[in-house]
């Protein structure tokens, strides 16, 4: 058995374990949450600095809604 075959067999076994399935699901979920948080923070940036509005309320509404 060559080294390449042995490594690919072990890799397939590792991917099919319940731990691997859990890790994969965790990675995908965390990635989605991090993307959402980034989007959320960029949308509400006008409200975040020192907890005061940096713009007038109408401008903040336009930034958040569009």
Tokens representing 50 are 């020192």
Structure confidence at residue 41 (pLDDT): 79
Burial class (CB in 10 A: 0-12, 13-18, 19+), 63: middle
What is the number of structural domains in the chain? 1
Structure confidence at residue 26 (pLDDT): 94
Structure confidence at residue 52 (pLDDT): 67
Enter the pTM of the model. Answer: 0.49
Contact yes or no for 21/14 (Cβ under 8 A)? no
Q: Which domain holds residue 30?
A: 3-65
Structure confidence at residue 18 (pLDDT): 87
Contact yes or no for 63/43 (Cβ under 8 A)? yes
pLDDT digits (tens, 9 = 90+) for 3-47: 555 556 656 666 678 888 899 999 999 999 999 988 887 777 665
């Amino acid at each position: 058995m060559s080294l390449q075959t042995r490594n690919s067999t072990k890799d397939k076994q590792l991917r099919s374990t319940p731990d691997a399935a859990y890790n994969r699901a965790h990675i995908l979920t965390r990635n989605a949450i991090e993307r959402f948080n980034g989007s959320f923070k960029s949308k509400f940036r006008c409200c975040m600095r020192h907890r005061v509005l940096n713009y007038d309320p109408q401008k903040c509404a336009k930034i958040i809604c569009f």
